[in-house]
Amino acid sequence: MSLRLELPEEFINSLQKSVEVVYSNAIETARRDVGIIREYLTIDEACELMSISRNTLIRQYLEKGLPKYVIGNRQYVKREELNEFVEKHEVF
């Protein structure tokens, strides 16, 4: 004895679209997570990570001692040094 279940076409299409959205979101999250693992960040990536403007990063971080690395015309900051810099400026 076997049981056959038929689903409406509309439900199947809706389910397929939902799976595509979940899959797309998972891929995008994985791409962002890969960026988090990187040791060196561009200035823009550092700004995005800290939720600050480029001017704030330059004036409040780089000009106050956060090391930067320049290769060609690109500037980078080391993730670990960025975290240490922020921790050193903790206010109690």
Count of beta carbons in the 10 Å neighbourhood of residue 10: 8
Mind listing the pLDDT tens digit for each residue in 25-81?
888 788 777 765 678 999 999 999 999 999 999 999 999 999 999 999 999 999 999
For the chain, give every domain's residue range: 39-92
- Give the pLDDT band of residue 86 (cuts 50, 70, 90): very high
CATH topology of domain 39-92: Arc Repressor Mutant, subunit A (1.10.10)
